[in-house]
């Protein structure tokens, strides 16, 4: 029997994710405040609901991809929240990147209602969302993680059970803080070499074969023209926006502070990306931070 999925939130990530579920043979009902985003999915075979509540009726899986914790709590909690009306057999996955406290709150409320819930933020960006190669970091009960495998496999290449509710958000904060740090280090190294006359492509090859090898250098090279298909080779469009990296580094700072962890590298990364954001680069790919290094005199 065809499984039914309700998908709420069809932005740059949610739209492609819902499309991959359609391609995998799921019956998908979508809702978003953007009529254009809904139409794009309707043209591919999705049903369009006129509200989140209507979308969530009689579904096997409910997936949400929303901007912030306040939107997630508003969707699920309270007398008008979806947890009150959902069928207890529905498996809920919130793929938003939000604060761990909100994820825990929603997870606990879902457990009280007997509903399987995962906070399941993703890694990979827009390109991976389109290709169906996302990585999911999931917090919640192990049984919920197992039940969610059919939809996770349709949208991604890997999924991990990180621990109880909120653990997915903590894992995402750790991952993206590290991503920011090694992207900044890669930009700094390439700019330093280029200032001394080294070809950025040759320097990239040298570091990839040496101990400086990292994901930013290997998969997402920030220097224009070095890597075909990277945002850097397309005027830093599309990709993972600076605005989103700045948001994630704020979440990482909160996670570190709540556990009294000295995360001075993460805080410096937050400062540098905030400056790049303030310079008008919020909608560009985060690897565009390279330009702040190339612009320095000397």
Asked if 218 and 195 count as a contact pair (C-beta separation under 8 A), the reply is no
pLDDT tens digits for range 85-101: 998 899 999 999 999 99
| CATH H-level superfamily of 4-164 | NAD(P)-binding Rossmann-like Domain (3.40.50.720)
Dist. CA 16–CA 156, nearest whole Å: 11
Average pLDDT (268-273) is: 98
Average pLDDT over residues 268-283: 97
Over 80: is that where the pLDDT of 3 sits?
yes
Look at residue 296 and tell me whether its pLDDT is greater than 70. Answer: no
- For 157-167, the pLDDT digits (tens) are 999 999 999 99
Is there a contact between 31 and 38 (Cβ–Cβ < 8 Å)?
A: yes
Q: Write down the domain spans for the chain.
A: 4-164, 171-294
pTM of the entire predicted model = 0.92
Binned at pLDDT 50, 70 and 90, residue 58 comes out as confident
pLDDT value, residue 136: 98
Which amino acids are annotated catalytic?
172
Give residue-wise pLDDT tens across range 105-151: 999 999 999 999 999 999 988 889 999 999 999 999 999 999 999 99
Q: Give the residue from 87, 81, 174 showing the smallest Cα distance to 123.
A: 174
What SS3 state is found at 241?
strand
Band the pLDDT of 194: cuts 50, 70, 90: very high
Under the banding of pLDDT at 50, 70 and 90, the label for residue 156 is very high
Q: What per-residue confidence (pLDDT) applies to 297?
A: 57
Distance from C-alpha of 221 to C-alpha of 255, rounded to nearest angstrom: 28
User: Would the pLDDT of 238 be above 80?
Assistant: no
State the pLDDT at residue 100.
95
Contacts of 13 (CB under 8 A, 6+ apart): 65, 95, 122, 126, 129
- Which pLDDT score is estimated for 94? 98
Q: What's the CA gap between 272 and 183, in Å, rounded?
A: 11
Tell whether the model's pLDDT for residue 298 goes beyond 90.
no
Higher pLDDT, 12 or 185: 185
Structure token pair of residue 252: 């990482």
Architecture in CATH for domain 171-294: Orthogonal Bundle (1.10)
Spatial CA neighbour of 151 closest among 171, 178, 122? 122
């Amino acid at each position: 029997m065809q499984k039914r999925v309700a998908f709420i939130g069809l932005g740059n990530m949610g739209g492609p994710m819902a499309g991959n579920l359609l391609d995998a043979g799921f019956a998908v009902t979508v809702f978003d405040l953007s009529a254009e985003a809904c139409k794009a999915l309707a043209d591919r075979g999705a049903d369009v609901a006129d509200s989140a509540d209507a979308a969530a009726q009689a579904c096997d899986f409910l997936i949400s991809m929303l901007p912030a914790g306040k939107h997630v709590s508003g969707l699920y909690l309270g007398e008008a929240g979806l947890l009150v009306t959902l069928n207890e057999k529905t498996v809920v996955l919130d793929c938003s990147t939000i604060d761990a406290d909100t994820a825990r709150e929603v997870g606990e409320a879902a457990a009280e209602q007997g509903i399987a819930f995962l906070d399941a933020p993703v890694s990979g960006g827009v390109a991976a969302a389109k290709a169906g190669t996302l990585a999911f970091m999931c917090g919640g009960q192990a049984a919920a993680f197992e039940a969610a495998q059919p939809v996770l496999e349709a949208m991604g290449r890997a999924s991990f059970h990180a621990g109880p509710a909120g653990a997915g958000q903590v894992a995402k904060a750790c991952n993206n803080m590290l991503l920011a740090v090694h992207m900044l280090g890669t930009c700094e190294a390439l700019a330093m070499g280029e200032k001394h006359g080294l070809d950025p492509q040759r320097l990239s090859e040298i570091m990839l074969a040496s101990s400086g090898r990292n994901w930013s250098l290997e998969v997402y090279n920030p220097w224009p023209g070095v890597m075909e298909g990277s945002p850097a080779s397309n005027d830093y469009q599309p990709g993972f926006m600076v605005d989103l990296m700045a948001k994630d580094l704020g979440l990482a700072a909160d996670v570190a502070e709540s556990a009294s962890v000295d995360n001075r590298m993460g805080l410096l990364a937050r400062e540098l990306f905030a400056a790049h954001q303030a310079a008008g680069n919020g909608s560009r790919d985060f690897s565009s931070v390279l330009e702040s290094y190339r612009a320095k005199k000397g």
